[in-house]
Each structure stands twice: as C-alpha cells, then as structure tokens.
Chain A
Amino acid sequence: MRDTPRPPSVSDQAAKGKPPSRVYMIDDDRRILTALSRLLSSAGYLVEPFTDAETFLANHDPQAPGCAVVDLSLPGKDGFEVQSALESCGRPVVFLSGHGDIPASVRAMKAGALDFLVKPVDADVLLAAVEQGTALDQARRRSRDQRKQLAERFARLTARERQVLDHVVAGRLNKQIAGDLGTVEKTIKVHRGRMMHKLEVRTVADLVRLVGQFQAGRG
C-alpha cells in the first residue's frame, strides 16, 4: 500500500537552492519504512514510501527523476522483480537486505543494482548510496535527453543532405562531392549550408564531433 509522503521538515530547507531529489522507498516493515524515510527526508530528499512492490509499480511514473531504495524480501513480488521492472526506465536501484546473503548480493549486482546494503544500515552509507543513485539517474536522464535532441536534429535532414553529410564527414571537398553525386558544386554548397544549419554546427570539426556523439548514442 501507498504511504503518504511526509511533509518536508525544517531541515529540508537546509538543502537550499536545488529542487529536492526524489527517492522511492519500498520496505514491508512499516517501522523501518518510517525510520528510513525520515532519515532521507532529513537529508533533503523527497521520499515516496511504499510497503509493497505491486503498489509501487502501479503508481510509478518512469518519467519522474529519482532513485529507488528497495528491500529484497517483500511479500508478493520481491526486490529482484522490482529491479527488473525498473530496468527499462533506467532508474537506479539500491537494495536493502536483512541478511548478508552472498548469492543474493551477487545476483543483485550482476543484474545492475547500484548497491547492496545490509540492515541495519549506517546512515552515511545509505545517504551516500542514495546520492550516487539520484546523481546517476540525473546523468542518465540528461544523456537520454541529449540523445533525443540529437536524433531530432538529424531527423530534420533530407535524403540529399544526408548524402552530402556522409561525404563531408568522409573528408571530401565540395567539388569531389559534386562529382560523386553527379551534380554541380554550387548545388552541393547549398545542401551543405542547409545541413550545417539544421544540425546547428558551424565548423566541420563540430560536425564530425556531433556525428560521433550521435553514433555513440545509438550504440
């Protein structure tokens, strides 16, 4: 079930400036849920507490930034299932476990968990993991946004402009490109100018870097 988020306490204002990062906290032990939520709120996070995986997943907005702190053994769907459900949106997961169970921790880390913390967990350790988690989430979102923007820019090109782009990046001169594509240098210049404009670059060096980023982004 869903627990109401705690109102920001006095100390939340300590983390002035930045808007608070969000942490989804899932633990079936209500008292631990309260205590850990309290700890994270006191460090300036906006905590959304849940006591089971199903409610969390039903209310989960993949678009909202933030990381998840998940107890491994939950009634119904367990922590691993939460992790695999979050994989598609790339939300970092920090696991909590009551036992220092080596096979489980190996499994969690292999599946891409950010950290595997054993209860009782030290406040500094948890806060460090959560900070890393929210930072990683931000970084992932930022690079995803950038990739999206890049893709949009490249999508604006016409087929002809794309051909010209390929040749320019390959280091061909306008005259050579005209020869390759069976047209005159003047036309190539026009295409080239439009292409550079649409991709928002000024120099060939910038263009090459942009193409490199785009290709890396597509992996």
Chain B
Amino acid sequence: MLVVALPAGDGFAQEAQAPHRILIIYEGDSNQPAISEMAKGLHHGLDERSPTEFEVYSEFLDSARFPAAGDLERMASQLSAKYKEVKLEAVVAAGPIALNFMLDNRNRIANQVPLLFGGVSEVSTSGAALPPDVKGLVSRFDIKKTLDMARLLQPEAKRAVVIYGSAPFDRRWEATAKAQLGERYLDFEVTYITDLSLAGFADAVRQLPRDTAVLILSIFQDADGRKYLPREAVAKITPGSAAPAYSVYDTFLGKGIVGGYMGTFEDIGEQLAALVDRTIAGDTSLPQLTPLVARPIVDWREIERFGMDAGRLPPGTEMRYREPSLWSENRAEILATAAVVLLQSGMIAALVVQGRRRKKAEAELATERLELAHLSRASVLGELSGAFAHELNQPLTSILANAETGRRLLESGANDLTELKEILTDIVDDDKRAAEVIAQLRRLLVKGEAELEPVDLNQVVAATQALTNTELLVRQTPVEFRRSPSAVEVLGNFAQLQQVVLNLVMNAVDATSQLPPAKRLVEAVVRQREDGKGELAVSDNGLGVGPEMMKDAFKPFVSTKPAGLGLGLAICRSIVAAHGGTLLFDPKPQRGARIVLALPLRQKPA
C-alpha cells in the first residue's frame, strides 16, 4: 500500500515547522489581575513545553464594560475577518462568557478548530450543550480539602464555623457547604454563621474559642444590605479573630486567612497550557471536563500568629509571605513530617469514608429520599424566601390601607355603609390571600410521608404560578401557564407534585437566563392525553439538553448550574416514580428543552 502525505497548502516544506497558532479569547480586559495572571500562567506553561513553538494571539472581550449582545456581535464579526487567513490550531476561551461567545460564534471565527476553555467555575455551561470537541478545565472550590488542612493544623479543634454573606451568590455557597459538610465533618462539629452585618461577623469570630476552625466562603453583601468585595470584607473580619480562618479563594490570602486548597488564576493558565499542548498533539483521549487541580497555599505570617506547626502541612504547600531562609533550613524536616502526617490523615480519611459508606447502606433508602426531597425543597425555598416575603407583604399592605381608611371614615362621622362594606370585604379577601401564601409555604416545608389524594394538575400549576409570580417578575422571565379546560385528576400528593412543577419551571427559567428578557420563552402546559395519562410539559427556548445529559440529568449531584446541588431532577424523578408516573425529556423539542411529566389519571369510582 502506498501512502502519500501531501501538505494541504501550497506545498512549502517549511509548513511543517510553522509555529502552532493559538487564539486566546479572554472575557475581561487585559489589565484585570485575574486575566493577567491567567495569561501569565498560560504563556509560562506554553513556553515550558517547547521545542514546539507557539504563536499566541490574544483577544479581550472586556465583557464587563461591553456586555450587550450588539457588542459581542460586533466583536464576533471583527474577529471573523481578522482571523480568516490565520491557520489556528486551537482556540482557548478564558471564562464562561468567553466560552459562550465562542460556542455561538465558533463557525465564523475558527470553524472546526478545537475549542478549549478554562476559568469556568463548576460547569457553568451545560455539559450536555458542549459539542464533543469542546473540552476544558473546570474550577471546583474544594471546601472539604480545605477543612482537611485545618484538621492537620488544628488537630485539637472541636468546631468548624462556616461563614458566608447574604447575597444570592453567598446563599448558593450555603447550599453547597451544607451538602458537603453537613453537621459533622472529620470530627468537626460544623456550624454555619450568616445573616450578620460585617461588624456582627467580626464580633462573632472574636468570641470563638481558639480551637475552632473558621471557614470563610464569600461575602458579597451583609445582612444590612451593604455590598463588598469579598476580600475586603474578609480583611475586616479576620484581624480580631481568636480562631484561625481558612478559605478556598486565593484572593483572600494576605487578608488574614491561614490558607486553604486553592486554584489560582495562574494555575488555571498553566493547566490550560497542558490541555492546549495535548490537543495540538492530537490527543483525543482528553476528557471533556478536566477538574482544576487545587493545591494547598498558606500565609506564613498567619501560621506564626497562631503558633501552628507548619510541619503538619501537606508536602508541596506553597508558603506565601515567608522569609525564604527559614523554609530552606527546615525543608527536609517539614517534608518528612508532612509525609507521615499525610499518610496518617489519609488513613483517618479512609476510615471515615468507610464508616460512612456502611452507615449509608444501612439507612433506609426511602428515608434518605425523603431527606433529600426536604433538603432540596428547603434550598429552593431559600431562593424563594424573598418572594414569599413579598407575597405576604402585598395583602398586608392593602389590609392596612383599607383598615385605616375604614377608621378614618368612621371617625369623620361618615355614614356611607356601602363603602365600609366594600372595605371590609376587601380586608377579608386579602386576609385569605395571606393565609393561602402561608398554607403554601407550610405545604412545601412539610416533611413526612406522602399522602395520596385526588389532585388536579391544573391546581398544582395554579399554585406554582402564584408562588413564583414575584420571582419571575424580578427575573424578567414571563412564564405562560396553560391549564387544561377540564380537570386533570391524578392520585398524588399535592405538595410533592408542586415541588416537581416548581423545580421544572425554575429549571426552565434558569435555562433562558442567558437570553435577553424579551426573547425568553417558558411554557408550562397541562393536558389530558389520549392514552389515559395526565401530562404537564415544561418547555423553554434555552440552550437545550444534549442526548447524554438527558439521561445523566436525573442522577443525583449532576448539575449544569454553577452552584447547583444537582438534586432537583433526581428528587423530581423519584417523586414521580412513587406516583407511578414518568418524567422524561422530549428527545426532539421544537426549541430549547422540553420535559414531560406524565401521571396515570385517577380511576373515578363507579
């Protein structure tokens, strides 16, 4: 057999030695510290890998200052013209916005060129929506490993205190932390502190006993509604702290935390360089998502301030703010001790894990499912609590105004009984409206065995609509709830079914959040099917769900949302299964995604 390899182009022999051309799209501007550190890591990583030479092109979307669709569109057409003649071998999107930008405009800028991404925390873009040749680095903030480090440095500590602020982003950390750490972790009794002013946080840590480990997550806003850069908030809290503080954000280093497991932006750059290298070498075995390797970093001054034994730190720990001479003096000793400790802690961890597994297996599966359902409900509720407050506030407002008007009318000696009667009727109605809000809240919070009763799917949808009204207004996503003209009666538990509908609707709403408000389209439609099933279909015009994700989405802890627990659909499906129904994605939706809940209709007693 004769194989002739011809250069694709004009046949120049030098073509083979041409440098590898790579385009890097940064979502920020070049002066941002995060961006310049990422760039530094990338260039450093690429340089290290030569003999092969790289020719790196960098573009900056500056999306914080030019966020409009028009801005990105202009950029896309500009880049499309600019790189038309450049033979790119890989494109790197740095940051979630850059990734979405490239997913949208890939064909125009670099058609069929492998796309890599990094600086994307968790999976902020749907893993399923990614074409198979789009691969990248996913940042995971490892709170468990960070507490492991605290355990090494503070072997005697009894308590771990987790601190986070009141912003929605901070709240999402709450859910993640509670799911990962629970009430006990590594013999730490874990407690959570939130809903305080910044001064309140500072006070709280001042009063903690020395043998406590403080884990600070993010504080974008405190209970007084003041907004902060988290690192500045941390700098105000830690100085008075009686106990050592840790975090997963390297930006907090130097602001009074001891350290933690962190992936710096420079690390992201370096690890991206490795992915670029492998991709260009034609390595197709690269998994779609590579987790960012976080590493232990500490602030030496804090280690000293608390008189902690640095020898206990894992080997390879980066010590910042330390006189180099001290390190080199004790290096061997530290490393040896650390190795022993690591071995020990590894064994402890293994034992803990083993013990846990056994316990888990012993536990009744059904109980666990109920717990999960409750947990997810509670976290959805957390998100909705502001909406609930609003829903209660509305009737209270009109009740107060009506009651005061009534009193004024009576005081002025008015004898218009018709108006007084109207006022009282309105007060009664509003009072009922408030009571209904509370009843819904209770229904959602109720923990316990499901009671089956005849339920009209129309009413489930109506209740969900009432519950989400405000939230949807705030999120500028109109949802069209279409009920069936006649009752669609199934046998089920109202609260649980409402939980399912709520989840499906909020998922759909999340899926459209990338679109401009005017283009968002979410529909929840109830109908009675010919095959004797009651159906509720929720559809959206978001990015859609890929064929693999359609299966995976129902597994627990699989999530495409940046801070999602990945429990929503898993719980939904188990609830639906308990009702003898099915919950499936429509394999061929007209647009976006469409998920269909089907339940057997209730057999009417003869």
User: What residues make up the interface of A, taking CB atoms closer than 8 Å to B?
Assistant: 9-11, 14, 29, 31-32, 34-36, 38-39, 42-43, 73, 75, 98-99, 101-103, 119-123, 126
Task: Tell which of B291-299, B398-406, B497-505, B592-600 binds the partner.
Answer: B398-406
Contact status B397-A119, CB under 8 Å: yes
Chain A min CB distance to B184 (Å): 36
Considering only CB atoms and an 8 Å cut-off, how many residues of chain B contact the other chain? 33
Contact status B225-A101, CB under 8 Å: yes
Contacts of A42 in B (CB 8 A): 405, 408-409, 412
Chain A min CB distance to B197 (Å): 12
Contact status A98-B415, CB under 8 Å: no
**Option from B402, B429, B473 in Cβ contact (under 8 Å) with A73:** B473
Q: How far is the CA of A101 from the CA of B386 in the complex (A)?
A: 11
Report if B414 contacts A (CB, 8 A). Answer: yes
**Option from A31, A34, A39, A43 in Cβ contact (under 8 Å) with B395:** A31
Contacts of A14 in B (CB 8 A): 412
Known contacts A35-B426, A73-B473, A99-B386, A123 near B394 by CB under 8 Å:
no
Chain A min CB distance to B170 (Å): 16
Q: How far is the CA of A11 from the CA of B224 in the complex (A)?
A: 42
Known contacts A11-B408, A123-B401, A98 near B430 by CB under 8 Å:
no
Known contacts A10-B415, A11-B409, A42-B405, A29 near B389 by CB under 8 Å:
no
Contact status A39-B404, CB under 8 Å: yes
In the complex, the chain A residue whose C-beta lies closest to that of B386 is A99
Contacts of B224 in A (CB 8 A): 102
In the complex, the chain A residue whose C-beta lies closest to that of B402 is A35
Q: How far is the CA of A154 from the CA of B419 in the complex (A)?
A: 54
User: What residues make up the interface of B, taking CB atoms closer than 8 Å to A?
Assistant: 224-227, 386, 389-390, 393-402, 404-405, 408-409, 412, 414-416, 419, 423, 426, 429-430, 433, 473-474
Known contacts A101-B225, A123-B408, A35 near B397 by CB under 8 Å:
yes
Contact status A35-B393, CB under 8 Å: no
Contact status B394-A39, CB under 8 Å: no
Q: How far is the CA of A43 from the CA of B474 in the complex (A)?
A: 33
Chain A min CB distance to B495 (Å): 26
Contact status A10-B474, CB under 8 Å: no
| Nearest 3 Cβ contacts at the A-B interface | A123-B404, A35-B398, A35-B401
Q: How far is the CA of A104 from the CA of B199 in the complex (A)?
A: 22
Chain B min CB distance to A127 (Å): 9
Instruction: For the A-B complex with A10-B415, A35-B397 known, give 5 more contacts whose Cβ atoms are closer than 8 Å.
Output: A34-B398, A38-B419, A75-B473, A99-B389, A123-B405
Contact status A10-B416, CB under 8 Å: yes
Chain A min CB distance to B566 (Å): 30
**Option from A10, A99, A103, A121 in Cβ contact (under 8 Å) with B390:** A99
Contacts of B409 in A (CB 8 A): 9-11, 42
In the complex, the chain A residue whose C-beta lies closest to that of B433 is A31
The listed residue with most A CB atoms (<10 A of its CB), out of B225, B423, B433, B474, is B225
